[in-house]
Amino acid sequence: MGQKYFMPPLLVILAPHSESMERTRELAETGVGRLLVKYFVPSFVGVLVNTLYNIVDRIFIGQAVGAEALSGISVIFPIMLIMAGFGMLIGIGGSVLVSIRLGQKNLKEANKVLGTAFVMMLVASAIITIVGFLVKEPLLRSFGATAETYWHANDYLDIILWGAAFQLVGFSLNNLIRSEGNANVAMVSMLISAGTNIVLDAIFILVLDMGVKGAAYATVISMFVLSLWVVSHFFSRRSILKMYKENMKLNFGIALQIAAVGLSPFCMQAAGSFVQGVINTKLISYGGDLAVGAMGIIISVTNLIMMSIVAINMASQPIIGFNYGAKNKARVKTTLRYSLIAATCISVFFFALFEAITGALVNMFNKDSEQLYDMSVKGLSISLLAWPIVGFQIIAGNFFQAINKASISIFITLMRQVLILLPLIYFLSASYGLDGIWAAFPLSDVIAALMVSFFLIREWRKLDRLC
């Protein structure tokens, strides 16, 4: 009643409701297997392209600038995790709420979630930029920057902090696009942004010889392009959700719900940042700056596997959230079952593939350092040992997030990162040095998978009581 879009009047008249009804019917009635495949393909392309942001930067820097610069930008990884964590807090928290509200056939409340989430993105990005510049020097030192790598890290971070708003708006709104069933649009968003990043990396680093600054500028500009694209989507006829003027305010009730749901992935990123900072200091103690560079390579390679599994989470989340909101336990269970099977198959496949071509993967990032090559190959081979079960662990843990049970999801996240991995790193590195750090990762994955199985079995039984 009296609602107005932030869009030209003609588009308001033309905006249809038939697409909204079709997508909600699809989430409720289309075969789960077919629906997962339909959502997985664009989600996989989207997250794979998203992963290329950091990987492409590292490849260009490792090949064109050298191992020292690669170690420098690897030091920044914990800070990038925190920035991504805020995007997940708002983007994933908002997308879960949207899926559930659409399942409840409450489009008005779903639009309020969108408006509040957008305001939260702007506020969070301003805080990140201001606080980031205030504490960046002690942060970089605490995360392992040395006299040789500090200036590479500082040059990169200075530019990235100014682009925090573009990162939060782009990635967070893309999650909301996916939650309304527009997976293809979300995929195109990432293709446009990552394509821009790759082209600019080549120009700024290879042609203009701008080094790490060129990589940072390429990233920020590509994020800006992504932000423009995703914001324009919510003014278009493709979107179910709409940006109404009256919803563009901080609704504290909705903001708290978004934060509660999104707290789990945020805690995962924050814990990951803290743990990575500790790991960096341990790596320097036992292997020097090159060990930090090796970890950067390992993270880049394992992220390729991780993002494949994350794509299954993205594909299943709107289906699970919608049908949980609609109290359709059969479709919730079927979606979870298919997701677990698919994630396990993907984990096993990539584990076998990457173990076979470990040397070639490392050489993508390494220009001419034999020591970095040897360190990275050994670290990657050891850290991948438990990957066949990682797919199950990730899907099972994120299931609780999709059904809005944030406390369980948060506990599972902190358990793996802080309660298991961190003590193992301290204990094993004291006895086995650098090899102990690499071995802590597969061992923590095995223990975490056993623990998450307990929670999943218990929740599976509870679903039988869902009306």
Q: Does 116 fall in a domain?
A: yes
Q: Does 2 fall in a domain?
A: no
| φ/ψ bin of 366: left (φ > 0), alpha (ψ from -120 to 50), beta (otherwise) | beta
Q: Does 10 fall in a domain?
A: no
Two structure tokens written together for 314: 């993205």
Q: Does 19 fall in a domain?
A: no
- HEC-encoded secondary structure of the chain: CCCCECCCHHHHHHCCCHHHHHHHHHHHHCCHHHHHHHHHHHHHHHHHHHHHHHHHHHHHHHHHCCHHHHHHHHHCHHHHHHHHHHHHHHHHHHHHHHHHHHHCCCHHHHHHHHHHHHHHHHHHHHHHHHHHHHHHHHHHHHCCCCCCCHHHHHHHHHHHHHCHHHHHHHHHHHHHHHHCCCHHHHHHHHHHHHHHHHHHHHHHHHHCCCHHHHHHHHHHHHHHHHHHHHHHHCCCCCCCCCCEHHHCCCCHHHHHHHHHHHHHHHHHHHHHHHHHHHHHHHHHHHHCHHHHHHHHHHHHHHHHHHHHHHHHHHHHHHHHHHHHHCCCHHHHHHHHHHHHHHHHHHHHHHHHHHHHCHHHHHHCCCCCCHHHHHHHHHHHHHHCCCHHHHHHHHHHHHHHHHCCCHHHHHHHHHHHHHHHHHHHHHHHHHHHCHHHHHHHHHHHHHHHHHHHHHHHHHHHHHHHHCC
Residue 155, domain extent: 42-465
**5, 27, 72 from 180: Cα distances, Å:** 18, 10, 39
Q: Does 461 fall in a domain?
A: yes
| φ/ψ bin of 66: left (φ > 0), alpha (ψ from -120 to 50), beta (otherwise) | left
Backbone angles phi, psi at 242, to 5 degrees: -130, 145
C-alpha dihedral sign at 232, 4, 26, 343: positive
Q: What is the pLDDT of residue 301?
A: 80
Q: Does 3 fall in a domain?
A: no
Backbone angles phi, psi at 5, to 5 degrees: -80, 155
Q: Residue 290 and residue 70: Cα distance in Å, rounded?
A: 9
- Number of neighbouring beta carbons within 10 Å of residue 106: 14
Q: Does 235 fall in a domain?
A: yes
Q: Residue 315 and residue 322: Cα distance in Å, rounded?
A: 12
Q: For the chain, how many residues are written?
A: 467
C-alpha dihedral sign at 57, 63, 68, 74: positive
Q: What is the pLDDT of residue 466?
A: 56
- Structurally, how many domains does the chain consist of? 1
Q: Does 303 fall in a domain?
A: yes
Q: Residue 96 and residue 466: Cα distance in Å, rounded?
A: 18
What string of pLDDT tens digits covers the 467 residues of the chain? 333 333 333 333 334 444 555 656 666 667 777 888 887 877 777 667 667 766 777 778 777 777 677 777 777 877 887 888 888 888 888 888 887 787 777 888 888 888 889 999 999 999 999 999 998 888 888 777 777 778 888 888 899 999 899 988 988 888 888 777 777 787 788 888 888 988 998 899 888 888 888 888 998 999 999 999 988 888 877 777 777 777 778 888 888 888 887 887 787 778 778 887 888 888 888 888 788 888 888 887 887 777 778 888 878 877 887 777 777 888 888 888 888 998 899 889 988 888 888 888 888 877 777 888 888 889 988 988 988 888 888 888 778 877 767 677 778 777 887 888 889 998 999 989 999 999 999 999 899 888 888 888 888 887 766 54
